Amino acid sequence: MDTLDLSRLQFAVVTIYHYFFVPMSIALAALTAGLQTAWRRTGKQHYRDLTMLVGKLLMATFAVGIVTGLVQEFQFGLSWSEFARFYGDVFGPTLAIEGMLAFFLEATFLGLWFFGWDRLGPRLHLATIWIVAVGTVISAFVILAANSFMQNPVAYGIDPETGRARLENFGDLLLNPVNLAAFPHTIAGAAMTGGALLLTIGAWRAWRSPGAQAHRDHTSWRLLARLGAWVSLIAGMAVAITGDLLGKVMTQVQPMKMAAAEALYATESGAPFSIFALGGADGGEPFFSLDIPYLLSILATGDPTATVQGIDELQAQYVDLYGPGNYIPWVPVAYWSFRLMIGTGMLVAAIAALVLWRTRKMRPLQGSDRLGRVLLASLPVLPLLPLAANTFGWIFTETARQPWLAFGLFFTRDGVSPGLTEAEVLASLLGFGLLYGILAVIWTRLVLHLARLDLSPDPEAPAAADPDRATSAPSY
Amino acid sequence: MDLATVWFALIVLCWVLFFVLEGFDFGVGMLAPILGRGSGQRGAAVRTIGPVWDGNEVWLVAAIGVTFAAFPDWYAALLSGMYLPFVLILLTLAVRGIALEFRGKKDDGGWRRRCDLALASSSLAAAALFGAVFGAFSAGLPLGTGGEIAATGGALGRSLAGLGSPAALVGAVTGVLLAALLGATYLSLRTTGPVRTRARALAPVLAGLLLVPLGLAVLSGQLPVAGAAAAIGALALIALLARAGREALAFAATALMVAALTVTILVADFPVLLASTLDPAWSVTVSGAAASPMALRTISIAGIVVLPGVIAYQVFAYWVFRKRVASEPVPT
C-alpha cells in the first residue's frame, strides 16, 4: 500500500474506533441525566442506584472518547494537510466552536458532576449532568455539519486567487439539508447504542446471573433492562424514519451513492429494492436475488414509478461534468454495508421488542421455551449490534462518496499530506492500533467489572467496612 | 490590530492556559508516586487533579481547533511537519487520560498501582515531548515551498529528526522540570500532611535543577542573557516563596514563569508563525496563513460569546474543588 492508501486506512481505523465510544457517551449522558431526574422527582432508591451505575459507565466511556477524539482533531493536519489547507476555512470554525463550546462544557461539567455529589446543592448537581447531556448533542450537531459539507458542499465560495474553499455563511453550513437529516439519524443511532448496553447489563443481572431473581437488586436490574429495551425500540423506529429521510436527501445530492447502495447499474423506472443478491454487485447478472418491486423508487423519491438513475448513466454524466476519470465507488462494499447497517439495526429493535413483550407484568425473561433461551443467549452480542450498525453506516456513507473527499469539489487523493512517508504512516498506524487494542480490552473489562458490582450495599455486611461505600461520593 | 492578530493572541492564550493548567497536572502525575507513600497518599495527590484534568486538556483542543480555523496553513504545516512527534504526544495523552480516569473505577490495589505507574510515565513523556516540540519548532523547520517538509527517502527521520536538535533536547528537559515544579507547588497548595510537606521541600530543588537547561540554552544561543537573568530571578523567587511556606504565591509565580516562557516562544518571530530554515520566503506568516474574513468573523462571534463563559465555568469548577485533599487512611 502507498502513503495514500495507508493514510485512508488509518483514518478509517481511528475514526471507526472513536465512533464506538461517541454514541455510547451521547446516550449514557442523557440516560444518566434522566435517571437522576427520576430519582430527584420520586425519591426512589432504584433510580439513585442506577444513576450511579450509568454515570460510572459514562465516565469510563467518555474518557476513551476524549483521548481518541483528540486524535480526530489532529489528524486533518497530520495526514491530510492539503485538505486542511483547502477546506480549513470551512471546517476549522466548526471544529473550533465544537472544541470551545461543547467539549469544554462536557469535560468541565462531567468532572463537576462526578466529584460534586456532596459539594453542590441537589438542583445544581442535577443541572451539571443535564449540561453534559446537552453539550454532547451540540457537539454532534456541529461536527456533523463538517461531515455534511463533505457530503454536500454548501455555504462556500472558491477563492479566485488560491483556489481554496472559503466560508460564506456559517448558519447555512450548519443547516445543510444533509445535516438536518443526518443529525437526527445519528442521534437515534446513538440512543440505540446506549439502550442496548443497558438492556444487556440489566437483563443479564436480572435473569441470567446466579441467584438473580432473589437478589435484593432484582427490581433495579429489571428496571434497567426494560429502560434499555424501550430506548432501543423507540430509537430503532427513529433510526428507520430518519434513515428514510436521509436516503431521499442523499438521492438528490449524491445519486451515485444511492445507486451504489443498490448496485443499480442501469437506470430504471419503478425500481425494485434488493433485499440481498449473490453476485452482480460488480455489474454482471446476479445468480440469485430477492427483490421487493417498486420499493427502491419509493425509498428514493416517494413515488413507486419514479426513475432511479443507475451507476452507468451517472458515470457518463460525471465525466461530462468533472472531466475524465472513474467516479464509481467500491460497489460491493456500498451494497453490503448498507444492508448490514439496516439488518443489524432492525435486529436490535426486534430483540428489544421481544424482551419488552416477554417481561411484561413482572414476568421473567427466560422460560422453558426456545425463544427465552435464544434471547438469553443473544445478550452478550447485543451491545455489539448497534456498534456494528453505526460502523456499517459510516463505512457506507464515507466509502460510497469516493473518489471525492468533498463531493464534486476535492478528490481524496489530492488531500493527503504531500511530505508524508509510508514509514511514518505505518509507524503511527501500528502505534494507534496497538494502543487502541489495549484500550478496548481495558474498557471492556472495566464495564464487565462495573456490571458485576451490586447496586445497593449488602444489609448483612458490617457497615462502612469499605471506605468507598461509606460516603455517598464515588471514590477516586 | 486586525482580526487575524487578535486570533493569534487568543491562540497564544490557549497555549498559555494549556501549559499552566495541564502543566501542573502533568507534574502531579509524575510526582504522585514519589511524594505519596502508600495508596492513601498517592490517591490524595491524584484526587487534586481528578475533577479538573480533562477541562485542562480541553485547552489543547481549543488551541489546535482555533489554529485550524484562524490559520489553516499553520495548522497544516505544523502538524504534518511534526507528524511523528505529535502522534507520540497523542499516544501518551491517551495513556494518561485512561490511567487517570480508570484508576478509581476498580477497588483493587494492584490495578491502582498499575494506573499510577502508567500515569507517571505518560505524564513525564508528555511533558518532555511538548517541551521538545516547542523547542524544535521555535528553532524553525525545513519547510519547502508548499509549507511541507520534503520526504527524505521514505524514512521515519523526516519528522523525527527535529527531536534530536539541541533546541528540542533543552526543551524536553525544561518541559519536564517546569511541569514538575508546577506540580510540586500545586500539590503543596492542595494537599495536607506528608504529601504537602514533601512537595514543599521538593519545589526549591526543582527550581535549582532548572538552572541546568537554562545554562545550556544560553550556551547554545537560544536564550539571550537578559532572558536568562530574568529566569534566574524568577526561579530564586519561587524557591524562596516555597521555603517560606507561601504556597499560593509560589504556585502563582511558577505559573507566571510558564506563561511568560510560552508567550516568548510563540511571539518571538511574530509575524512569522512557523519559520522555514531553508528560505525565509517559505515561512508561514500571520497574513499568509490567515483564514478568510468571514471565517474569522464567525469564530470571533463564537469566541466573544463562548470564551468568557468557558473561563467563568472553569473558575467555578476550581472554586467548587478548592478544599485541600486529605490522604485517606489505607483500608486494612
pLDDT tens-digit map of A38-95: 999 999 999 999 999 999 999 989 989 888 988 999 999 999 999 999 988 888 888 8
| Sequence-ordered strand ranges (E) for chain B | 272-274, 284-285
Check A111 against B52: CB less than 8 A apart: yes
* Rounded Cα gap, residues A362 and A202, in angstroms: 14
| The predicted structure's pLDDT at residue A474 | 43
Whole-prediction pTM:
0.91
Check A88 against B101: CB less than 8 A apart: no
| The predicted structure's pLDDT at residue A21 | 95
Cβ contacts of residue A316 below 8 Å, gap of 6+? none
Closest to A249 in 3D by CA, of A149, A178, A338 = A178
| The predicted structure's pLDDT at residue A325 | 92
B321 lies within 8 A of chain A by CB? yes
Work out the burial of residue B228: count CB atoms within 10 Å of its CB; fewer than 13 is exposed, 13-18 middle, 19 or more buried.
middle
Q: Pick from A88, A115, A428: which is nearest to B321 by CB?
A: A115
* Rounded Cα gap, residues B235 and B276, in angstroms: 33
| The predicted structure's pLDDT at residue B310 | 81
The C-alpha R_g of chain A, in whole angstroms, comes to: 24
Q: CB–CB of A90/B292 below 8 Å?
A: no
Q: Pick from B80, B159, B299: which is nearest to A96 by CB?
A: B299
B65 lies within 8 A of chain A by CB? yes
pLDDT at B71 over 70: yes
pLDDT at A401 over 70: yes
pLDDT at A258 over 70: yes
What does the block give as the cell for A391? 460502523
Q: Pick from A70, A417, A419: which is nearest to B90 by CB?
A: A70
Confidence of residue A309 (pLDDT cuts 50, 70, 90): confident
Confidence of residue A468 (pLDDT cuts 50, 70, 90): very low
pLDDT at A106 over 90: no
Pairing of strands A410-411, B284-285: unpaired
B55 lies within 8 A of chain A by CB? yes
| The predicted structure's pLDDT at residue A465 | 42
Q: For residues B278 and A315, which has the higher predicted lDDT (pLDDT)? A: A315
Closest to A119 in 3D by CA, of B319, B329, B40, B327 = B319
Confidence of residue A469 (pLDDT cuts 50, 70, 90): very low
Check A431 against B91: CB less than 8 A apart: yes
Query: What residues form DSSP beta bridges with A278?
Result: A288
Residues of chain B neighbouring A428 (CB-CB closer than 8 A): 83-84, 87
Nearest CA in chain B to A447: B105
| The predicted structure's pLDDT at residue A229 | 96
Q: pLDDT per residue over A222-238, tens digit each?
A: 999 999 999 999 999 99
Q: Pick from A78, A107, A476: which is nearest to B54 by CB?
A: A107
Q: Pick from B98, B299, B320: which is nearest to A67 by CB?
A: B98
A100 lies within 8 A of chain B by CB? yes
Check B68 against A88: CB less than 8 A apart: yes
| The predicted structure's pLDDT at residue B1 | 64
B23 lies within 8 A of chain A by CB? no
Check A74 against B86: CB less than 8 A apart: yes
Minimum distance, in Å, between the CA of residue A190 and any CA atom of chain B: 22
Residues of chain B neighbouring A88 (CB-CB closer than 8 A): 68-69, 72-73, 75-76, 291
Q: pLDDT per residue over B128-138, tens digit each?
A: 999 999 988 88
Check A167 against B294: CB less than 8 A apart: yes
Query: What residues form DSSP beta bridges with A167?
Result: A156
Nearest CA in chain A to B325: A476
Check A99 against B64: CB less than 8 A apart: yes
Minimum distance, in Å, between the CA of residue A108 and any CA atom of chain B: 5
DSSP A110-153: HHHHHH-TTTS-HHHHHHHHHHHHHHHHHHHHHHHHHHHHHHS-
Q: What percent of chain B has pLDDT over 90?
A: 36
Minimum distance, in Å, between the CA of residue A204 and any CA atom of chain B: 21
Mean pLDDT score across all residues of chain B: 87
pLDDT at B155 over 80: no
Closest to A228 in 3D by CA, of A62, A418, A28 = A28
ipTM: 0.89
pLDDT at A471 over 60: no
Q: pLDDT per residue over A127-154, tens digit each?
A: 999 999 999 999 899 999 999 999 999 9
Residues of chain A neighbouring B151 (CB-CB closer than 8 A): 419-421
A405: three-class secondary structure by DSSP: strand
Interface of B with A in 238-257 (CB under 8 A): none
Q: Pick from A89, A112, A466: which is nearest to B292 by CB?
A: A89
Average pLDDT estimate for A166-170: 89
| The predicted structure's pLDDT at residue B152 | 59
A331 lies within 8 A of chain B by CB? no
Q: Pick from A62, A111, A449: which is nearest to B51 by CB?
A: A111
| CA distances in angstroms from A362 to A209, A244, A303, B21, listed in the order given | 18, 36, 45, 52
Min mean pLDDT across A290-299, A303-312, A318-327, A463-472 is at A463-472
| The predicted structure's pLDDT at residue A473 | 41
Check B68 against A77: CB less than 8 A apart: yes
Q: pLDDT per residue over A276-294, tens digit each?
A: 777 666 666 666 778 888 8
Mean pLDDT score across all residues of chain A: 89
Q: CB–CB of B138/B167 below 8 Å?
A: yes
Closest to B51 in 3D by CA, of B328, B323, B331 = B323
Minimum distance, in Å, between the CA of residue A443 and any CA atom of chain B: 9
DSSP B237-276: HHHHHHHTT-HHHHHHHHHHHHHHHHHHHHHTTTTEEE-B
| The predicted structure's pLDDT at residue A467 | 42
B98 lies within 8 A of chain A by CB? yes
Query: How many Cβ pairs within 8 Å bridge chains A and B?
Result: 258
Check A475 against B107: CB less than 8 A apart: yes
Residues of chain A neighbouring B102 (CB-CB closer than 8 A): 60, 63, 442, 446
Q: Pick from A88, A424, A442: which is nearest to B291 by CB?
A: A88
* Rounded Cα gap, residues B121 and B116, in angstroms: 9
Residues of chain A neighbouring B51 (CB-CB closer than 8 A): 111-112, 114-116
| The predicted structure's pLDDT at residue B32 | 92
Minimum distance, in Å, between the CA of residue A417 and any CA atom of chain B: 6
Q: pLDDT per residue over A424-447, tens digit each?
A: 999 999 999 999 999 999 999 999
A213 lies within 8 A of chain B by CB? no
What does the block give as the cell for B179? 511541569
Interface of B with A in 289-318 (CB under 8 A): 291-292, 294-295, 298-299, 302-303, 306-307, 310, 313-314, 316-317
Residues of chain B neighbouring A159 (CB-CB closer than 8 A): 292
Check B58 against A450: CB less than 8 A apart: no
Q: Pick from B75, B151, B328: which is nearest to A77 by CB?
A: B75
Check A74 against B90: CB less than 8 A apart: yes
Check B90 against A427: CB less than 8 A apart: no
